Amino acid sequence: MFEALLIAFPLISGIILGIGVLWMQAPFFVLARRSVGLLDILISDLEEDDKFAAVNKATNATVVALGKTLAFLAVVLGATAWTYWYFPGMFWLDTLSAGWKFGVFTAGTVLPFLYPRKQKSAYGAMAQLFHHLILDHYHIGKALLKRQIKGVEHPVESGAVSAVLVTGLARAGTTALTRTLSERGPFRSLDYSNMPVLLAPRLWAKFYRPSRKEQQERAHGDGIKVGLASVEALEEYFFKVVTGDRFVKKDRLVRHELRTEENEQYRRYYKSLCQPGEVYLAKNNNAVLRLPSLLTQNPDMKVFVLVREPLEHAYSLYKQHLKFSKEQAEDPFVLTYMNWLGHHEFGQGQLPFDLGALGDERDRQKLDFWLERWIEYYSYAQGLGGVEFIRYEEFLARPSEVVERIAKATGVTIEAENIPVFEKTPAAPRGFSPDLVLMAQKVYEGLG
């Protein structure tokens, strides 16, 4: 009994310190984010008066966060010291040798870390913090972008194609087509290994060299395997930063023109990713919001818009909305991650494209909402010039022919032989308006 009491106090002291370290994570993360937020304002190009006010506000928030962190640290260290040195002496039990006492204390500090805790997110706490520090701060992003594009030229060669953009409403096969092109042609794209330093991938590559093997099925649950080498819709973060999110409204995404200086940065940005002889390849489902100005200012860009049979397409969007809404409720970081990248296609952060004719249905739990999104998107796209439509069903059944068509349209050498046919089981949706389906089908027949 006496021996148990002898080791109890240093053990408890170690446990207190271990738990304190774990609990310190929250205030430390707040302090880190406040500090980087202050730096972000300091390097911003705000007007002097606005900048002064913002700096004062951010400084106060940082000081408060620092005070809370230090106060918490003082409590943890005080409780640890009290149970290690002073409390045992009150009971005349401080007779363990220094070596034994420190060994028991060390064991106590380890115990809280051994306690199994359910992982709520695919991203660990430190990974989430790092993403916040980089992606939350647009002025830091602009500084990184400036470094990335320094000295990069972007000549427009007559008849040459320097960029290929694959777009369309989400769930139209844009990922599958983009990956097929990436694997079979001289293309360069952003991929998951560039996260979260999307605006300075060359700098990030000096520090981060991950394995680029395919790893697991992506979150959509559609059988597509993704890894750090998988191309994905990551360029939208560039547009969010350079435009200051001016196209992101509370309840919708709006059309906007890309200004001359913004397009200049865009060209230098995507050129900075490519080696001589490579063509930039992007998948961006938000591109419709700025396509007219993109096409006008970039005559060496080819744009392919995928279109899918409307009822099946709407049903696929509806199912993904339910799936991601559930996942985002269980792991809020999924919602934060998607918002960073401008992925507002479905889930709790869903925002419809306002292309001039928003439908009346607002209930995302109804299939008609997604049919209206389809009709608005492709009715608008139908009036765009300079784009080429590709039917999703044709790509599934005859992928080699579709890739040959793209190679001919772009003048880029792409290996089009022996592309596997994609197997898809047709869905059987229910609970929709026949009138909306007829309207959508009419638009569909006029495309491609």
Q: Are the C-beta atoms of residues 391 and 168 closer than 8 Å to each other?
A: no
Count of positions (residues) in the chain: 448
pLDDT confidence of residue 195: 93
Per-residue pLDDT 10s for the chain (448 aa) are: 445 556 677 888 888 989 998 889 999 999 999 999 999 999 998 898 889 999 999 999 999 999 999 999 999 999 998 887 776 666 555 566 777 778 888 888 888 888 777 777 778 889 999 999 999 999 999 999 999 999 998 877 777 899 999 999 999 999 999 999 999 999 999 998 899 999 999 999 998 877 656 555 545 554 555 455 567 779 999 999 999 999 999 999 999 999 999 999 999 999 999 999 899 999 999 999 999 999 999 999 999 999 999 999 999 999 999 999 999 999 999 999 999 999 999 999 999 999 987 777 788 999 999 999 999 999 999 999 899 999 999 999 999 999 999 999 999 999 999 898 887 777 778 888 899 999 999 999 998 6
- CA gap 271, 95 in Å, rounded: 70
pLDDT confidence of residue 218: 47
Residues whose CB falls within 8 Å of the CB of residue 401, separated by 6 or more in sequence, listed in order: 394, 416
pLDDT confidence of residue 159: 79
Q: Domains in the chain, please, with CATH?
A: 2-117 (no CATH), 127-445 (3.40.50)
Phi, psi angle pair for 43, to nearest 5°: -95, 5
Angle at 446 between CA 296 and CA 440, to 5 degrees: 105
Inter-CA distances, 121 with 21, 46, 80, 126, 383, Å? 21, 36, 31, 12, 42
pLDDT confidence of residue 203: 93
pTM, rounded to two decimals: 0.88
Tokens standing for 141?
A: 């992003």
